[in-house]
Structure 1
Amino acid sequence: MMDDRNALFSQQTFARAIEFIWREAELLDHRDYRAWLELWDPKGHYVVPIDPNATDYAATLNYAYDDQDMREKRVQRMMSGYSASASDAARTVRTVSRFTLSSDSADLVEVNSSQVVIAYKRGVSTIFAANLTHKISMASGEPRLVDKVIRLIDSTDALSAIGFLL
């Protein structure tokens, strides 16, 4: 009986995590950056590593390694209208799928997935594909992003036009 309860808890937690990840994608596609900031645990990190095998993000070069302060500054820049990424921002559509549960506990869930982002700007569509890792805290009852790591499949190539959140 105990295994059944644990399995049910795990399935429900996994389903909540997937819904949370889809909600995050929707917020980003609608450029609702303030609501996106509210998804985060204050200690969380938004990471886009260059090295596809990096695990020590603080000690390696990244496209982004944002703590709460840097996430807020990035959002402020994007909403200000003064930066190129804000005044001529790409419209995006995300598809997030291939969810696998890496680990779960009562307080923390780690989900791996894939993401394809189509970004449309000035008559040109650009595709960004990545493997994602979301670490989601369930401790407060409301899911909160602890870490989001976006491993772009072409991260070691020269990339341009990443003027939006992945």
Structure 2
Amino acid sequence: MAWDAKQQDLLNEVTQFIYREARLQDDHEYDAWEALWADDGIYWIPANGEGTDPENEMSIIYDNRSRIGLRIRQFHTGKRLSQTPRSRLRRIVSNVEILEHDAAEIRVSANAMVFESHTRGDTVWASRNEYRLRREGDDLRMVLKKVILVNNDTALYSMAFLI
């Protein structure tokens, strides 16, 4: 399928948004990361597979916008002992693909590898991330971020940072 300039511009904008989101997380800039969310945003990390219904399945994280803010406020207290010292993080994001879009929302998929270095050791997290983005004014906002960890059916190390 040949992409026209408008579709390519949208893909570039979406890709830059996802890259920015990854950088903010890697740098622990959680206030700026929180600003990327829509007021009705949902952050979901399913457990035990692909995750089809967070209301009826186990989740590692299933947070609404209020809970996302609470996690960040807790992080800022400095009392998150699992993040003292903070993990050093770097993400590699690839395969950004717009699955569908209309005037209201953009559905996007991307692969990610997160390298975490911490005093307890190094961990590599691999995932497929699914996003629903909405334009609010001139900016994109996350309505949904679903992180499907490749190994979410096994015991996981502490994720005291926001994946």
Instruction: Specify the alignment match of 1:61 in structure 2.
Output: 58
SS of the residue corresponding to residue 58 of structure 1 reads: coil
State the distance in 2 between where 1:61 and 1:78 align. 24
1:53 Cα offset (Å): 2.5
Residues 26-65 of structure 1 aligned to structure 2 (within 5 Å): 26-65=23-62
- Cα deviation for residue 14 of structure 1 reads 1.5
* Distance in 1 (alpha carbons) for counterparts of 2:123 and 2:86: 13
Superimposed CA distance per residue, residues 71-118 of structure 1 (whole angstroms, 9 cap, x where no aligned partner): 011111112111223433311000110111111123311111110000
Distance 1:147 1:52 in 2: 18
2:131 aligned with 1:134: yes
* Higher fraction of helix: 1
Normalised TM-score (structure 2): 0.92
Give, in whole Å, the separation in 1 of the partners of 2:162 and 2:17.
17
CA contact (8 A) 1:78 1:85 kept: no
| Matches of 2:99 and 2:43, distance apart in 1 | 18
3-state SS of 1:143 partner: strand
The AA in structure 1 aligned to 2:57 is: T
- For 1:106, the equivalent position in structure 2 comes to 103
Match of 2:23, as an amino acid? Answer: E
1:115 maps to 2:112: yes
Structure 2 match to 1:8: 5
Corresponding residue pairs, total: 162
CA distance in 2, matches of 1:103, 1:144: 16
- Which sections of structure 2, spanning at least 5 residues, go unmatched? none
TM-score (norm 1): 0.91
- Find out whether 1:83 has 2:92 as its counterpart: no
Structure 1 unaligned residues grouped into runs of 5+: none
Deviation beyond 3 Å, 4+ runs, structure 1:
none
**Does the CA-based 8 Å contact 1:98-1:113 persist in structure 2?**
yes
